[in-house]
Amino acid sequence: MCDVVKLEREDDIAIITINNPPVNALSGRVRRELKDAFLTFQKDKKLLAAVLHGEHEAFSAGVDIHEFCKPTEAPSLPELLAIIDEIEKPVVAAIDGNALGGGLELALACHYRIAHSHAQLGCPEIKLGILPGAGGTQRLPRLIGAEAALNMITSAQFSSAREGGLTGLIDRVVDDNLLPNAKDYARHLLRTHSPIRRLSERKVNTAVLNKDFFEDYREKLANASPGFHAPLAAVDAVEAATKGKFAKGISYERSLFNECLQSEQSRAQRYLFFAQRRAPRVDFLAADTTPLSVRSIGIVGAGKMGQGITTSCLLAGYPVILVDNDSHALDVARTAIEQSLTSLLRRHKLTHKQRDAAFYRLTTSHQLAAVSETELVIEAIQEHADAKRGLFAELLTVLSTSAVIATNTSTLDINILAAGLTSPGQLVGMHFFSPAHLMQLVEVVQGDDTSPTAVATAMAVARSLKKVAVLSGGSDSLIGNRMLSVYSREADALLLEGAGVEQADNAMRQFGMAMGPFQMADLVGLEGGYHARQSRQQRGADNLPVTSPVADKLVEAERKGQRTEAGYYRYEPGSRLPVADAAVENIIASTAAALSIHRAPVDNNTIVRRLTLRLINEACKIIEEGIVQRPSDIDVIWVNGYGFPLFRGGPLCYADSLGLDNVVAELEALERSSGPRWKPSSYLTQAMASRTPLASLDTLPVDGIKRQRRA
């Protein structure tokens, strides 16, 4: 087994290299070998300075997350960093690629830092439900100030080495030859007799903090990310850095870190970290299946979805041809896309040059033939099966036989859309979420005839757009919207039984949902669901036991959501702020009376329980029916596409935290009191009987997956 850490000598400089691909995670073994290397450096009188760097164009992405569920191997990261901190000769961290989490903490324990300008620095621990646990909350505020440190820790955002240079986090930023420059820097430090700069010996500059700084910060966080524990723990730890000695702060940080690490929230968030990385893998594709090399993308439909998808593709560097037969719609789209790009510029997410280059990549046309040279066309026209089928037939006449057509449908069955096409294998689904340039999720939908190349291409393109891509088997309503459908219908039923619109939205927000069910319905628009219900009923395909009579009545009263300034709420012109509306109460009351439903108060706990239980049970039915590759994909979809709280890990992970015995018992009780829609899915009862957690990253057995049988 080759070493994961190497110590080489170049005259009086020690070069210590971490080599633990792919991201130089600080596993137990890396920490052990780093300790040995630094102790050797310390003892060797001929070595006067050390440069620490990483192979694979990376410094380190932090502690190995896999090891969090095992007992910590010695030395722990704080122990290793204490050794480096105390060395009496200068240690220079040379940062390439990423210095994240424990990786950044390692760099902070070194006495000087030099970085390549493209390097990324950050504290992503909060995303794992923990806080920096190896001195990050103590050294970082001592270096860049408490406020900047807290912003970095609680936002979990990465900043560039250039920004690090400006804040004092990085001492030198170079554009090339990092390692030679780092060695020169070490020699310069020796020549100039620079002191050993230990952050542990500094004090945090508290003079710049107003007296309520930490209280205000806590309040701001509680409003911005309600329900998350780790960010608040990070504030406690940074506050401790402003008050006491370094050693005391370190030990307080460690106790908070351990508390967070053991929490249900961290368990859920670490599971999601791996679930998101597993989701894009299509396990049943033959190893030699290669995605098309997509050089440019055609997008048909210049409406809101088309605009968002176009913006996403432009940002990823693709030339895009946006087609619509309505020239006014194309003009509106050009303006909207330019505005979206400019808004990213204003928020410092793009430079002027990047904004201009992205916009320059956009071409618009009225002619479908304009997309004939593209390898991928994404359809984003209205949700009408016949219109879509007509478009696909026409596209097949202008595109090459190897090109892929992706439909953005969210409600139509891809197999129905593919029926009758001369080449159904070229059709795949790519369901983006609105606004498509901001939302993370893309559901890639495989119909019965979709070719492996089309699936691989859609997955690869979605990833290149920096989206979380998840595969869904061809099914009416896909995975996410199918669950949304039962969730919305249950929410509608709760209204009829006596719950209030605002009450239910507040209850779900307190549970941690980004939005309540009715706010979300208004935002998305009520028409899509209405047409989908009508279409299913007409086809006799609506076997869902609860319909959405209130939603239907609202649409029939022209209350179609935010777009019409009225839905479950009303909206002032130009405002997105929901305002309670007595007219809606009247519609609910009269609908309930017409259905002979007696309305009585419903408590918040019942609202949360019923809505989440419906989600959990439907998720299990989806697994049972074999239209998802692995259970964790469902959690990835609901967290990234529907605002399910990240700290609960998704509906299946949440079910595990409740205990499957309890979930089944509650469903059975509801089945007895309210009918068969609550019958627990057999997948759920089997998981309970075999004591198997629902939240699993494992690909389901071949027999359980329709797609795998076909492939």
Residue 22 in contact with ligand CAA, rule: CB under 6 A: yes
Residue 468 in contact with ligand CAA, rule: CB under 6 A: no
Closest approach of Cβ 58 to ligand CAA, in Å? 7
In what helix (H) or strand (E) does residue 689 lie, and over which residues does it extend? Answer: helix 682-689
Residue 62 in contact with ligand CAA, rule: CB under 6 A: yes
| Dihedral pair phi/psi, residue 346, rounded to 5° | -60, -35
Closest approach of Cβ 126 to ligand CAA, in Å? 9
Looking at the Cβ atoms of 64 and 522, the one nearer to ligand CAA is 64
Closest approach of Cβ 470 to ligand CAA, in Å? 15
Question: Which member of 33, 105, 490, 666 is catalytic?
Answer: 105
Beta strands 91-95 and 297-300 are unpaired
Closest approach of Cβ 460 to ligand CAA, in Å? 14
Place of tokens 């909350």: 137
Under rule CB under 6 A, which residues in 626-685 are in contact with ligand CAA? none
Q: How far apart are CA 140 and CA 107, in angstroms?
A: 11
Q: How far apart are CA 401 and CA 454, in angstroms?
A: 12
Residue 119 in contact with ligand CAA, rule: CB under 6 A: no
Please choose, from the candidates 476, 487, 479, 493, the residue with its C-alpha nearest in 3D space to the C-alpha of residue 635.
Answer: 479
Closest approach of Cβ 707 to ligand CAA, in Å? 21
Residue 95 in contact with ligand CAA, rule: CB under 6 A: no
Among 28-36, 49-57, 63-71, 565-573, the segment contacting ligand CAA (CB under 6 A): 63-71
The CB-nearest residue to ligand CAA is 101
Looking at the Cβ atoms of 132 and 651, the one nearer to ligand CAA is 132
Place of tokens 């509106």: 332
Count of residues binding ligand CAA (CB under 6 A)? 23
**Structure tokens that stand for 245 in this block:** 């000695």
Q: Of residues 25, 235, 272, 297, which one binds ligand CAA by CB under 6 A?
A: 25
Q: Of residues 132, 298, 500, 525, which one binds ligand CAA by CB under 6 A?
A: 132
Place of tokens 């307190």: 510
Annotation marks residue 671 as catalytic: no
Looking at the Cβ atoms of 306 and 631, the one nearer to ligand CAA is 631
Annotation marks residue 375 as catalytic: no
Among 94-102, 365-373, 477-485, 580-588, the segment contacting ligand CAA (CB under 6 A): 94-102
Q: Of residues 66, 203, 539, 710, which one binds ligand CAA by CB under 6 A?
A: 66
Q: How far apart are CA 593 and CA 587, in angstroms?
A: 10
In three-state secondary structure terms, 112 is strand
Looking at the Cβ atoms of 64 and 375, the one nearer to ligand CAA is 64
Three-point CA angle 465, 469, 475, nearest 5°: 130
Are 427 and 414 in contact by the 8 Å Cβ rule? The answer is: yes
Closest approach of Cβ 457 to ligand CAA, in Å? 19
Q: Is the link from the previous residue into 22 a cis peptide, with omega within 30 of 0? A: yes
Q: Of residues 106, 108, 134, 695, which one binds ligand CAA by CB under 6 A?
A: 134
Q: Of residues 37, 50, 63, 234, which one binds ligand CAA by CB under 6 A?
A: 63
Looking at the Cβ atoms of 102 and 549, the one nearer to ligand CAA is 102
Q: Of residues 28, 124, 567, 680, which one binds ligand CAA by CB under 6 A?
A: 124
CA dist list (Å): 158 to 101, 151, 465: 10, 11, 18
Q: How far apart are CA 298 and CA 375, in angstroms?
A: 8
Closest approach of Cβ 78 to ligand CAA, in Å? 8
DSSP secondary structure, 549-569, as one string: HHHHHHHHTT--BGGGTBSSS
Q: How far apart are CA 356 and CA 13, in angstroms?
A: 46
Closest approach of Cβ 153 to ligand CAA, in Å? 10
Q: Of residues 77, 204, 250, 602, which one binds ligand CAA by CB under 6 A?
A: 77
Residue 105 in contact with ligand CAA, rule: CB under 6 A: yes
Residue 128 in contact with ligand CAA, rule: CB under 6 A: yes
Each as own residue / partner, the long-range contacts of residues 205-212 (CB below 8 Å, 24 or more positions apart, any chain) are 205/145, 205/146, 206/146, 206/242, 208/145, 208/147, 209/146, 209/147, 209/242
Q: How far apart are CA 431 and CA 474, in angstroms?
A: 12
Closest approach of Cβ 73 to ligand CAA, in Å? 13
Q: Where are the alpha helices (DSSP H) in 156-177?
A: 161-167
Q: How far apart are CA 129 and CA 51, in angstroms?
A: 32
Strand partners, 51: 15, 92
Q: Of residues 7, 23, 186, 377, which one binds ligand CAA by CB under 6 A?
A: 23
> How many other CB atoms sit within 10 Å of the CB of residue 428?
28
Question: Which member of 125, 375, 490, 666 is catalytic?
Answer: 125
Residue 418 in contact with ligand CAA, rule: CB under 6 A: no
Looking at the Cβ atoms of 134 and 412, the one nearer to ligand CAA is 134
Q: Of residues 54, 101, 517, 651, which one binds ligand CAA by CB under 6 A?
A: 101
Looking at the Cβ atoms of 125 and 449, the one nearer to ligand CAA is 125
Residue 370 in contact with ligand CAA, rule: CB under 6 A: no
Strand order in the sheet with 98-100: 98-100, 120-122, 159-160
Active site residues: 105, 125
Q: Which residues bind ligand CAA (CB under 6 A)?
A: 22-23, 25, 61-66, 77, 98, 100-102, 105, 124-125, 128, 132-134, 136, 277
